[in-house]
Structure 1
Amino acid sequence: MTAPTSPSTPATFDALSFLRADELAPELLHATFTRAFADYLIGPFQIPVAQWPMFLARQGVDLALSRVAMDAAGAPLAFAFVAPRPLPRRWRLATMGATPEARGSGAAPALLDDLIARAAAASQHAVELEVFAQNERARRLYEGRGFRKIHDLLGYVADAGTIAPSVPGIGTGNGESAPRSVDMPQLLSWLEAAEHRIADLPLQVTATVIRHGVDYRGWQTADAQIVFSLPDETVMIHSLIAPQDTDARALIRALVAVYPERRLRVPQLQREDLGGAALRALGAVPQPLHQQLMLRPL
Structure 2
Amino acid sequence: MSYTTRLDRTAIWVGDKFHYVITVDYSSEYEFVLDNVDKEDVNMDPFTVVDVTKQTTPLSNNETRLLLDITLANYLLNQTEAHIPQLSLYYFRRGQNTTSAEQAAAESLTVSGPTVGLRSTLPPNPADIRDSAVVISWERSRWVVPAVGLVALVSLIAWLVFKKRRTAPGPDRRISMEAVRARWASGVPSDFSDSQTTMKFLDRSYLNLKEYLSYYLETDTAGLTAEEVKEEMQRLGASSDVTQKVAKVLGACEALRFSGDGTAATAESARGVAQDVREILSLDPKY
TM over 0.5: no
User: What is the TM-score of this pair, normalised by structure 2?
Assistant: 0.19
**Between Structure 1 and Structure 2, which shows a larger proportion of strand residues?**
1
- RCO comparison, higher one (Cα < 8 Å, 6+): 1
User: What is the TM-score of this pair, normalised by structure 1?
Assistant: 0.19
**Bigger-Rg structure (1/2):** 2
